[in-house]
Amino acid sequence: MADTVRNLVIVGSGPAGWTAAIYAARASIDPVVYVGVPKQDPGPILPGGQLMLTTEVENYPGFPEGIAGPEMMGKFQAQAERFGTKVVGEDITRCDFSKDGSAPHVLHTSSGAEVHAHAVIIATGATANWLGLESEMRLATAGGGVSACAVCDGALPVFRDQELAVVGGGDTAMEEATYLTKFASTVHLIHRRDKLRASKVMQERFLSKPNAKVHWNKQVVDCLSDGKEGMNEKIRAVVLEDTQTGERSELVVKGLFVAIGHTPATKFLKDSGLEFDDAGYLALRSRHSATNIDGVFAAGDIADGEYRQAITAAGMGCQAALDAERWLGGKGLV
């Protein structure tokens, strides 16, 4: 493959990556998608992104009855492949970008191969930060009521009028907890300290809700299930530990939302020359998907620390493909 220069390589296989592939393939750019391989870091990272941990997606247009996240990503991939997208089940582990776009970019794969590409779209997303509990991850992957996105999952019928818990103390946790107050009977905010890190206005917005309750100096050390097996297993309570006394107690809940931030999947971009913003996300130029390196574009959650939704990621994937097509056309390459 090193002897062949690809027009476009897309790194990542979530909504942004597959949408970029669909647009690029239909434009006869012959894209290649490196989907990655499953890993733990410490929570699961799967080809297909965060939606692979979402059992039901109800807020993506076109699916009035909802759709399981993995099924949705399967449909995205099938549509991209229908138009000729080549799919490779490897990671990109390192990038040697041509700084001015005068030479092909060189990408290194997990098998030790080199891939040369005129244009590259980075769409590896951002992974939710998890507590690292075995029970937490088991329930999250089984659709058992543990989630890292309240805006994605909180309105599902299973959570309505139920006791729900949110872990965190920053602005993200306040936003998630406030959103859940629309649906839950009580939202229990669990924070390991006696003071929140969130901005004052975000704190007040949550604390002013009549169904908001804060558990100070507490941390979740285990998730207890209803004892059912497989995809039928659901959370019934969390075990809380007092961070000052060590005393443990159970809090009965029907849902646990972990809101302790996200980490952009950028490890493989170390020393690549790409610029990042203060939060570690890829920095983009103006409204477009272009990065600071000519011929390298970014889409989805790796460049979006604010919305992190499937539909916004897909929209960014469309932009990146169109920008890449125009860039390649301007170079006389397509």
95 assigned to active site: no
Side-chain-side CA neighbours of residue 194 (13 Å): 3
- Considering the candidates 95, 149, 223, 301, report the single residue annotated as catalytic: 149
Q: What CA–CA distances, in Å, run from 121 to 21, 78, 97, 164?
A: 10, 19, 12, 38
Is residue 124 within 8 A of residue 13, CB to CB? The reply is: no
- Considering the candidates 153, 301, 304, 323, report the single residue annotated as catalytic: 153
- Residue 35's nearest CA partner among 13, 52, 15, 18 is 13
318 assigned to active site: no
- Considering the candidates 91, 152, 304, 323, report the single residue annotated as catalytic: 152
149 assigned to active site: yes
Is residue 32 within 8 A of residue 9, CB to CB? The reply is: yes
Side-chain-side CA neighbours of residue 203 (13 Å): 10
Residues that are catalytic: 149, 152-153
